[in-house]
Amino acid sequence: LVCRLSSTLWLNGYLPVDATGDHLFQIVDICSLGIVAYLLHQVLQTQRHTYQAELDSFPMRPLIVGCFVAAALLHADMNDRPLFDTLWMAGLFLGIAAVLPQLWLVAKANGRVQALTSHYIAVMAVSRLLSGSFMWHARFDLTCQPWIEGMNHAVWAILGAHALHLLLLGDFAYYYVKAIFSRGLQCLDDIDCGCFV
């Protein structure tokens, strides 16, 4: 969120040109950032006893560095400011990578996941599907300094990142939908995502 906001709060390159790009996107992102700050406080202070430290061993540092390096290499130039174009792309890549620790925890828990966690992962997939759809329609508007004449690598990086996120969640989605159809959305017990075992 912070990477994306560093670009969208004061630059218009990655925002829709209609009225929603004027303030709606920024307001939603700022509210989301506030919610994330509140949730981090809850997790790290108030509900610290619920943290599963023994299962949370996913190596995030190399992934974060990789996201920034990939963003520096593959960014578009919609803002005509390489730093902020890179930060926007890094925000996208980090958003894709954010699902990996959750899937790691599911795998470490032998494929069992609490219902609310599974709903959260499913909403992330729907969000990425909608974002990918938007980027698909905006692909002709995205520009970059091409490495190969006639090939817009930024569009392929953006669409590829969305596709990778959906691919990572595809197996989870199968077991999630199966559980929802068999027990409904109100189930409070664990959902078995045997795909990760």
pLDDT confidence bin for 193, thresholds 50/70/90: low
Q: Please provide the average confidence, as pLDDT, over all residues in the chain.
A: 85
Mean pLDDT of 113-128: 83
Proportion of the chain above pLDDT 90, given as a percent: 35
- In this predicted structure, the answer to whether residue 196 has a pLDDT above a threshold of 60 is no
Confidence (pTM)? 0.82
pLDDT of residue 191: 59
CA distance 119 to 116: 5
In tens, the pLDDT along 77-105 reads 998 899 999 999 999 999 999 888 888 88
Please report, as a single letter, which amino acid is at residue 185: L
Handedness of CA 113, 119, 125, 131 (dihedral sign): negative
Q: What pLDDT is stored for residue 194 in this prediction?
A: 53
Strands (E), the chain: 112-114, 190-192
